[in-house]
Amino acid sequence: MYIGVDCGTQSTKVVVVDVEGERILGEASRPHRLDEGEGGRREQDPGEWLLALRGALGEVLATAGIDPRAIRGIGVSGQQHGLVALDGRGEPVHPAKLWCDTETAPWNADLIQRLGGEAGCLDKLGLVLQTGYTASKIAWLRDKHPEAYARIATLLLPHDYLNFWLTGERVAEAGDASGTGYFDTRSRRWHHDVLAEIAPELDAERVLPRLIEAHEPAGTLRPEVARELGLGEGVLVSSGGGDNMLGAIGTGNIRPGLVTLSLGTSGTICAYSPAPVVPDSAMVANFCSSTGGWLPLVCTMNVTSATSRLRELFGLDLATFGERLAAAPIGAEGVTLLPFFNGERVPMLPEATASLDGLTSVNTTQANLCRAVVEGATLGLRYGLDQFGDLAEGVQEIRLIGGGSRSPVWRQIVADVTGSRVVCPEIADAAALGAALQAAWCHGSQSGGGELSDLCARLVHLDEASRAEPVPANVAAYREVYARYRRALSARHAIP
């Protein structure tokens, strides 16, 4: 049996997978608190991740009646880009600054300029730095909290930090490292010269974790942690990866021809590639996968985070919000919402705010506003898919994950907006499942067996009841709605 952990923005999820029986034995989650402030500050206490992991794993083991001695490995998925800077004792010098933090936008713009603009970034890193990547967070910490910066002994990402707590090893893998901004995504190596530009006082050899391959273990459980979690000693901890990379594994997206689209707190679109890509758009990140390949990816900042804000504003539960959404027509009777509550990454508008256009005394209804926020988030993802250019050609279907994928109406909207057939995996927490599958792959690799493709074929099952096919009339209607969305982008933000 294998444990998959997904440490996200809102919660940590844990699943236990019986590989031989090809089934999920149990799952549980615990929430996190998000600290938000003026200027786009969004941070979390890494200690909350540990509390959530302990609580969720304890619940799974207790309620599913699992024999802890049967656990062979643990895989960890984590929210990408977060800065977890540790001192010499392994304690955070500052709260973790998250992927959705936009306070560092000026530092990011400065770093892009110092690296030679977009062309210089592509030459050095294989991608263009974006606000939210780890690099600008380090530069921000250096300027704003020099006393904390001076105590840095190690720079980790959230999943690296959980691996460190589990094993005592300071390691990283190419998938999650791709989103730091000081990692060459083509050669799969740290770029020490870029880190020196960001943080000249830090010794890259000392502060950067050791890089391991995706199929290699981060280590084994520390004896004291094994006792605390109620597990046996010698349990393997796999390399793990970023939530997008492990979510791709959990949807079976480890070969060309598939797209994984996440309707989570943020929105992501990714497609597997066996080789590095040179995208036409700087908004497409040439990330590595956590399987040994590459995972070109686009990320938007406002999806269920945006729908939740509107739902809470109106005091609606999820069921009622869904009813309002279904009651409004395509295009929300002319209402257009650009849901940039957290700024936006695609298009590159880190300091943008949300806006409503087209309101009249007739169309200003709860139903239309609920429809407009869902359509706005989905049209933003369509804009991101457009940035893939030739990379999106030949896509056979979209594998849909994230909280929004539970809505039949939203699934149909995605199918109609993209003109593609859509289906969800049976396991909604694809990143946690992907983490467990990677752990099984890693464990098998130590004994010379266990292909990841075989594991995905056996354990990634599609929910045929969730399948949505694009409706030609709806696809045509959404072309007009998308054109209106693009006009609003152009008028308000000068985005062509």
Residue type, 373: V
| Separation CA 353–CA 350 (nearest Å) | 9
Residue of 114, 153, 154, 105 lying closest to 133 (CA atoms): 105
Residue of 362, 371, 288, 331 lying closest to 488 (CA atoms): 331
| Separation CA 174–CA 194 (nearest Å) | 17
| Separation CA 439–CA 246 (nearest Å) | 11
The two structure tokens encoding residue 371:
């429809």
User: Helices 366-387 and 472-493 meet at what angle, rounded to 10?
Assistant: 80
- Active-site position among 243, 317, 390, 454: 243
How far out from the chain centre does Cα 116 lie? 28
Residues 152/170, Cβ–Cβ less than 8 Å: no
CA dihedral 165, 141, 183, 395 (to 10 degrees): 90
Residue of 39, 406, 74 lying closest to 230 (CA atoms): 74
How far out from the chain centre does Cα 357 lie? 29
Return the beta strands (E) in 170-308 as ranges.
Answer: 171-173, 183-184, 189-190, 210-212, 217-220, 236-238, 241-242, 258-263, 267-270, 297-300
CA dihedral 437, 441, 447, 448 (to 10 degrees): 140
Phi/psi for 474 (5° steps) reads: -70, -40
- Told to judge if 243 belongs to the known catalytic residues of this protein, a careful annotator would answer yes
Residues whose CB is less than 8 angstroms from the CB of residue 278 and which lie 6 or more positions away in sequence, other chains included = 122, 286
Q: Is 42 helix (H, G, I), strand (E, B) or coil?
A: strand
Residues 466/426, Cβ–Cβ less than 8 Å: no
β-bridge mates for residue 26, sequence order = 16
- SS (HEC) of 337-388: EECCECEECCCCECCCCCEEECCCCCCCCHHHHHHHHHHHHHHHHHHHHHHC
- Show which residues are catalytic: 243
